[in-house]
């Protein structure tokens, strides 16, 4: 099932660009250009994550919206052109999963979004779920690490094949080897492990 993203961004051109990129990479995204619309959408749909601009040119800014409406129900990534420490400290009180400082590139967006979703799920992945015989020292080859990083960006086998100039069959073999070595039972568990071990 596609992950559902709410984009709260008052600049419609930026919002549309983000939506198109996310939908091209397997997400389902809804846009709100003001807090009222975002609140309505949030009440109507089960979103997995929120991308929220801080400065909304509205009496309610993104931080206040997250404080009052989201209230920790789903992970939040703030989008901001600000690097002002006072504003960022205000934002920190809402416990966001990440910040993206504008202008950001589309790869940064995907990696940040994917890792935020992984961290949000980590509380459901308890250490006792891992097989007892799994070694703490797992060695992945440089090629396997390359593929793992691309998997974290939601790349398909064909996209990984094109990016690394190897056949889809070779990619599939590497993926199988990665899962065998890590004994991960799902992609989300694999990415969670990769974050914990600083592979990505």
Residue that finishes a domain, picked among 76, 103, 123:
123
Domain match, 9 and 107 both: yes
Spell out the SS3 assignment of 124-185. Answer: HCCHHHCCCCCCCCCCCCHHHHHHHHHHHCCCCHHHHHHHHCCCHHHHHHHHHHHHHHHCCC
Tell me the percentage of the chain whose pLDDT exceeds 70.
Answer: 92
The maximal CA–CA distance of the chain, rounded, in angstroms, is: 55
Answer yes or no: do 132 and 108 share one domain: no
- In the structure encoding, which two tokens stand for residue 197, read together? 């071990």
Tell me what pLDDT residue 123 has: 54
In terms of domains, do 72 and 143 share one? no
> Is residue 181's pLDDT more than 50?
yes
| End position of a domain, from candidates 99, 123, 147 | 123
- pLDDT (tens digit per residue) in 27-57: 999 999 999 999 999 988 899 999 999 999 8
Domain edge (last residue) among 77, 96, 123: 123
Number of structural domains in the chain: 2
Residue 128 pLDDT exceeds 60: no
Confidence of residue 134 (pLDDT cuts 50, 70, 90): low
Mean pLDDT of 120-143: 65
Say yes or no: 42 and 86 in one domain.
Answer: yes
150, 119 contact by CB (below 8 A): no
Report pLDDT for 28. Answer: 95
Distance CA 50, CA 53 (A): 10
Claim to verify: residue 117 and residue 71 sit in the same structural domain: yes
Residue 155 and residue 67 in one domain? no
Pair (156, 131) in one structural domain? yes
Range of the domain at 181: 127-196
Looking at the fold, whether 12 and 50 belong to one and the same domain comes out as yes
Cα separation, 143 vs 151, in Å, equals: 12
Q: Of the segments 70-74, 103-107, 173-177, which one has the largest average pLDDT value?
A: 173-177
Same domain, 72 and 157: no
Are residues 90 and 18 located together in one domain of the fold?
yes
pLDDT exceeds 80 at position 165: yes
């Amino acid at each position: 099932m596609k992950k559902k993203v709410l984009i709260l961004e008052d600049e419609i051109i930026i919002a549309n660009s983000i939506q198109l990129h996310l939908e091209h990479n397997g997400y389902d995204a809804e846009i709100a250009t003001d807090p009222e619309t975002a609140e309505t959408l949030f009440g109507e749909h089960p979103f997995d994550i929120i991308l929220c601009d801080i400065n909304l040119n509205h009496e309610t800014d993104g931080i206040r919206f997250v404080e009052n409406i989201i209230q920790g129900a789903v992970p939040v990534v703030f989008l901001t052109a600000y690097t002002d420490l006072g504003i960022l400290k205000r934002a920190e009180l809402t416990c966001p999963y990440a910040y993206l400082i504008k202008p950001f590139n589309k790869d940064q967006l995907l990696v940040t979004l994917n890792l935020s979703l992984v961290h949000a799920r980590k509380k459901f992945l308890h250490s006792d779920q891992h097989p007892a015989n799994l070694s703490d020292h797992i060695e992945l080859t440089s090629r396997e690490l390359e593929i793992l990083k691309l998997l974290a960006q939601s790349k398909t086998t064909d996209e990984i094949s094109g990016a690394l100039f190897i056949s889809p069959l070779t990619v599939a073999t590497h993926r199988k080897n990665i899962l065998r070595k890590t004994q991960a039972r799902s992609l989300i568990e694999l990415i969670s492990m990769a974050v914990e071990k600083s592979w990505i």
